[in-house]
């Protein structure tokens, strides 16, 4: 198997099943994306290296997994008390999980279901996931049920041999149901995490979905989310990107019926030579729908941030209200942001806007704080905190917002995000 697919050759040669074979065929035709692929123009996959990726071992070091989980849970007391489903190297770890009664919880390995939204024929990473998926979490909430909050925690334990895992998740809410999901990606060592999540939000249902990307410093994490929102439904999402050598959070959201609402917000704080990519395609496929997207980036060292946000308004989607903004704060002359906001509009009665800003810390604001006796390091941190605070304030689940702030405090010494 030539080219980049040779990294997975041993596993791809053993693929069985019609859907997996179709995905493998699509993957063979396209290969993994390169910078010649428009959607990957700013994000190269060189971080995958040249070593072949093996499947995770059947077992794992339980003490190591427990220690990593304990570290994650210690971030905030609320996180430790949440119901949780834990995966280690892409496989359900029941001994680390605590599943709530309000949810119907299944697993991909028990009933492999690929869903209808994800498109392996046009997305090579989804095709790779379809070919190699072995497990994943499937959450379902019955109509009218208020299911509370659950954490889905994915732990990667890299070893001496290069390893990749490709979980396939699904979340489905019946009419009038509600659920808050906190997806946590964490790990240590070198590994490749390639999750795909298929989401359906029923009529008048509400899903709050916060993703905390805390992958190990050597990890590559390329996650794809497909969300379909029915009439009067709400998909309120936020992604906080902090970890990984290379990370991409890609969301495809479709407003399928009138009066649907979607938020695809996020923030990244990166340093060293990290690369963080936030990509989205929001499709307005019905009238009277609203979408909002605000992404903020703080980049230091030689870090590079990528924002690609497309709002597609179909001809039938009259009275669309769409807003999109990407803002970046560069703390180093070597940091870089690549931003590509897009509007593609076929309706004539719409209210849509988009934009992007890039800048450094404001010298006048720094001078003001310094003139009042604030040390320079603290003054810089106050301004960074204030910049990120407006993004974190978009997390509508208070518990998840508190956890996000606690993680920022642990990693960067923020005082709760307050200036």
Q: DSSP assignment, residue 57?
A: P
Specify the pLDDT at position 129.
Answer: 94
Closest CA to 166 of 326, 23, 280: 23
Confirm whether 278 is domain-assigned: no
Max distance between CA atoms of the chain, in angstroms, equals: 68
**Domain stops at, among 209, 226, 257:** 257
User: Residue 365: in which H helix or E strand, if any?
Assistant: helix 363-371
Rounded to whole angstroms, how far apart are CA atoms 350 and 283? Answer: 13
Clarify whether residues 23 and 159 are in a common domain. yes
Domain of residue 370: give its range.
361-419
Region label for 373, one of left (φ > 0), alpha (ψ between -120 and 50) or beta (otherwise):
left
Specify the pLDDT at position 48.
Answer: 87
Confirm whether 320 is domain-assigned: no
Clarify whether residues 242 and 115 are in a common domain. yes
Confirm whether 245 is domain-assigned: yes
Confirm whether 240 is domain-assigned: yes
**Domain stops at, among 232, 257, 282:** 257
Distances (CA, A) of 233 to 140, 230, 256, 324: 16, 5, 10, 20
**Domain stops at, among 257, 278, 300:** 257
Confirm whether 350 is domain-assigned: no
Confirm whether 42 is domain-assigned: yes
Closest CA to 354 of 317, 323, 318, 330: 323
Specify the pLDDT at position 7.
Answer: 81
Specify the pLDDT at position 414.
Answer: 47
* Contact (Cβ atoms closer than 8 angstroms) between residue 235 and residue 201: yes
Clarify whether residues 74 and 194 are in a common domain. yes
Confirm whether 281 is domain-assigned: no
Clarify whether residues 368 and 247 are in a common domain. no
Pair of tokens at residue 336 = 């870089």
The per-residue pLDDT string of the chain (419 residues; one tens digit each, 9 = 90 and over) reads 445 677 887 787 777 778 888 888 888 888 889 888 899 999 999 888 877 888 888 888 999 999 999 999 998 999 999 999 999 999 999 999 998 787 899 999 898 888 777 777 889 999 999 999 999 999 999 999 999 999 999 999 998 888 999 999 999 999 999 999 999 999 999 999 999 999 999 999 999 999 999 999 999 999 999 999 999 999 999 999 999 999 999 999 999 999 999 999 999 999 999 999 999 999 999 999 999 999 999 999 999 999 999 999 999 999 999 999 999 999 999 999 999 999 999 999 999 999 999 999 999 999 999 999 999 999 999 999 999 999 999 999 999 999 999 999 888 874 433 33
Strand partners, 249: 223, 278
Structural domain count, the chain: 2
Rounded to whole angstroms, how far apart are CA atoms 73 and 186? Answer: 11
Clarify whether residues 86 and 227 are in a common domain. yes
Confirm whether 93 is domain-assigned: yes
Q: DSSP assignment, residue 40?
A: G
């Amino acid at each position: 198997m030539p080219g980049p697919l040779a990294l997975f050759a041993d596993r791809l040669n053993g693929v069985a099943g019609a859907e997996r074979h179709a995905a493998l065929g699509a993957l063979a035709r396209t290969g993994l994306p390169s910078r010649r692929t428009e959607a990957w123009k700013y994000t190269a996959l060189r971080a995958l290296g040249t070593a072949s990726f093996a499947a995770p071992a059947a077992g794992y070091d339980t003490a190591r997994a427990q220690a990593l989980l304990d570290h994650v849970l210690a971030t905030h007391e609320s996180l430790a008390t949440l119901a949780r489903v834990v995966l280690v190297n892409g496989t359900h770890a029941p001994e680390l999980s605590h599943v709530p009664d309000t949810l119907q919880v299944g697993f991909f390995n028990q009933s492999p279901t690929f869903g209808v939204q994800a498109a392996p024929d046009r997305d090579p990473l989804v095709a790779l996931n379809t070919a190699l998926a072995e497990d994943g979490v499937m959450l379902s909430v019955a109509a009218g049920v208020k299911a509370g909050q659950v954490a889905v925690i994915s732990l990667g334990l890299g070893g001496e041999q290069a390893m990749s895992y490709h979980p396939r998740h699904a979340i489905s809410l019946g009419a009038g149901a509600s659920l808050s999901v906190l997806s946590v990606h964490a790990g240590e060592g070198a590994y490749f995490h390639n999750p795909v999540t298929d989401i359906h939000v029923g009529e008048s249902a509400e899903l709050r979905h916060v993703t905390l990307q805390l992958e190990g410093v050597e990890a590559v994490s390329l996650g794809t989310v497909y969300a379909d929102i029915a009439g009067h439904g709400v998909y309120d999402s936020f992604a906080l990107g902090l970890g990984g050598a290379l990370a991409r959070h890609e969301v495809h959201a479709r407003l399928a019926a009138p009066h649907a609402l979607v938020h695809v917000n996020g923030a990244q704080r990166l340093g060293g030579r990290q690369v963080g990519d936030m990509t989205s395609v929001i499709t307005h496929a019905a009238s009277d729908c609203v979408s909002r997207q605000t992404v903020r980036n703080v980049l230091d060292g030689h870090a590079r941030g990528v924002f690609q946000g497309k709002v597609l308004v179909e001809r039938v989607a009259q009275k669309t209200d769409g807003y999109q903004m990407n803002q970046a704060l560069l703390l180093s002359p070597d940091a870089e942001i690549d931003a590509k906001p897009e509007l593609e509009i076929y309706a004539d009665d719409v209210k849509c806007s988009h934009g992007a800003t890039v800048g450094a810390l404001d010298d006048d604001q720094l001078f003001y704080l310094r003139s009042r006796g604030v040390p320079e390091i603290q003054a810089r941190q106050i301004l960074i905190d204030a910049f990120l605070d407006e993004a974190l304030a978009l997390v509508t689940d208070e518990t998840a917002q508190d956890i996000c702030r606690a993680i920022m405090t642990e990693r960067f010494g923020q005082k709760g995000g307050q200036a």
